[in-house]
Amino acid sequence: MTVFNTTAKVPEFARRAGHLASGERIVPEEMPVAFTYHGSTHAVMMATPADLEDFAVGFSLTEGIVADAAEIELVEIIGEERGIDLQIRLADAQSEALVSRRRHMAGPVGCGLCGIESIEQAVRVTPSVRGSTLTMTPDQVVEAVRLLNGQQPLHMETRAVHGAGFFVPGTGLIAVREDVGRHNALDKLTGAAARAGYRGAAGAVVVTSRVSVEMVQKTAVVGSPFIVAISAPTALAIRTAEEAGMTLIALVRGDEFEIFTGADRVVSSSGEAARRAGNG
- List, by residue number, the catalytic residues: 111
Indicate the Cα dihedral angle 240, 241, 244, 246, nearest 10°. Answer: 180
Nearest to 32 by CA among 47, 42, 50: 47
Rounded to an integer, what distance in angstroms lies between the CA atom of residue 96 and that of residue 40? 13
Specify the DSSP element, H or E, that contains 239: helix 235-244
CB atoms within 10 A of CB 194: 23
Nearest to 221 by CA among 122, 125, 135, 136: 125
Q: How far is CA 34 from each of CA 9, 31, 78, 115, rounded to the nearest angstrom?
A: 25, 10, 10, 13
Q: CA-based diameter of the chain, in Å?
A: 64
Residue 75 pairs with which residues in a beta bridge?
Answer: 88
Residues 6+ apart with CB under 8 A from 172: 143, 147
For 120, phi and psi rounded to 5 degrees? -60, -40
- Helix and strand numbers, DSSP H then E, in the chain: 8, 12
Rounded to an integer, what distance in angstroms lies between the CA atom of residue 142 and that of residue 185? 20
- Residue positions counted in the chain: 280
